[in-house]
Amino acid sequence: MIEALLRRHLPGVEAWAYGSRIHGRSHGGSDLDLALRAPGLKRIATDRLKALSQAFRESNIPFLVEARDWTCLPENFHREIEKDHVVLVSKQHAEKPRP
């Protein structure tokens, strides 16, 4: 469902998951952190990010999903995320719907 919402609201955008949920250190209240990387690492329009966040809140995903534009994250976050992340939606699959 997360991938489908990403593709619907932000086609062409790559999504990287990072943080406690991918490290196995999460608990029931942990969110899923996503770094969103638009083609050419351009900034993602605020209204599109808000629409995606609203879609996550209205979905039946059983935890909070925090999606952030890569270009708005501090450089030191970039380095940490690049070291350890999981690609949820890759560049080559960002626009292709899943069967």
Q: One of 33, 47, 69, 84 is an active-site residue; which one? A: 33
- Please say if 47 is a catalytic residue: no
The stretches of 1-99 forming alpha helices (DSSP H) are 2-9, 20-23, 46-58, 75-83
Across the beta sheet with 14-18, the strand order is 65-69, 32-37, 14-18, 86-89
* Beta carbons of 82 and 2 less than 8 angstroms apart: no
Q: One of 31, 47, 69, 84 is an active-site residue; which one? A: 31
Backbone angles phi and psi of 66, in degrees to 5: -105, 110
Among all residues, which ones are annotated catalytic?
A: 31, 33
